[in-house]
Each structure stands twice: as C-alpha cells, then as structure tokens.
C-alpha cells in the first residue's frame, strides 16, 4: 500500500539483529522482537500498536512472576500449551506455565 508493512518488517528485523547471538537462532527471538515492537510507542501516532488494537496498554507482570529455576516435574498438562509444574520437593507452582518457555532437562 504505502510501504507501512515494509517499514514494520525493517524495524522488526533490526530488533532481531540486536538480540541474536547466532544467525541461526533468529526464529527463537521472533516472538520477543514482535512483543517489543508492539509495545513500543510510534512517533507517527504517539501510541503503541498494542494500545491502538486493544484500547489499553499491555501489562507485563514481571515483578509478580514466579522465578522459574528448575529442574521441575510436570504435574498436569492442559489444552493450549499450559502446564502446572512441581519443584523437586513436590511443591506445586501457583501459576500455569506456557510450554514454549520451557526446555527439556536431560539428567
């Protein structure tokens, strides 16, 4: 149309290039780059793309999040990719975790 898509893609590519350690891991950084792009203020509109779509700013509960430092045992798996974890002592974590954020542990 007016080049807006090309400009957005160029900006997302710049974000990914700053985050990458190895050129082969760009696909792992893409969700984080998209989040960064969607919650940063655009000078043309004075708002974030997220707020333009949803009518409010994104809330990132970083301070209230559980510190996931494993290993953990999978207690329950839900549809949609959420799971409940137990630590090695058997204590259940209060919040479900997205499976995309986990890495398999090989003892």
- pLDDT tens, residue by residue, 50-99: 899 989 888 776 647 556 677 888 899 988 888 988 888 888 877 788 88
Q: For a pLDDT cut of 90, what percent of the chain falls above it? A: 3
Residue 54 CA to residue 10 CA, distance in Å, equals: 24
81 and 98 co-located in one domain: yes
Residue 9: which region, alpha, beta or left (left: phi > 0; alpha: psi -120 to 50)? alpha
* Mean pLDDT, the chain, whole residue set: 83
Q: How many distinct structural domains can be found in the chain?
A: 2
Residue-range definition of the domain harbouring residue 87: 63-107
105 and 68 co-located in one domain: yes
* Residue after which a domain boundary falls, among 30, 54, 78: 54
- Measured CA to CA in angstroms, residue 42 lies from 18, 46, 64, 107 at distances of 19, 5, 28, 46
45 and 83 co-located in one domain: no
75 and 96 co-located in one domain: yes
Which pLDDT score is estimated for 65? 54
Examine the pLDDT at 1 and tell me if it is beyond 70: no
23 and 48 co-located in one domain: yes
């Amino acid at each position: 149309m007016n080049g807006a898509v090309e400009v957005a893609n160029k900006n997302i590519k710049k974000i990914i290039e700053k985050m990458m350690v190895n050129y082969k891991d760009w696909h792992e950084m893409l969700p984080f780059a998209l989040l960064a792009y969607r919650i940063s203020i655009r000078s043309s509109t004075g708002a974030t793309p997220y707020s333009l779509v949803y009518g409010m700013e994104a809330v990132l509960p970083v301070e209230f999040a559980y510190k996931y430092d494993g290993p953990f045992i999978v207690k329950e798996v839900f549809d949609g990719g959420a799971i409940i974890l137990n630590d090695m002592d058997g204590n259940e974590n209060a919040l479900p975790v997205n499976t995309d954020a986990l890495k398999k542990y090989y003892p």
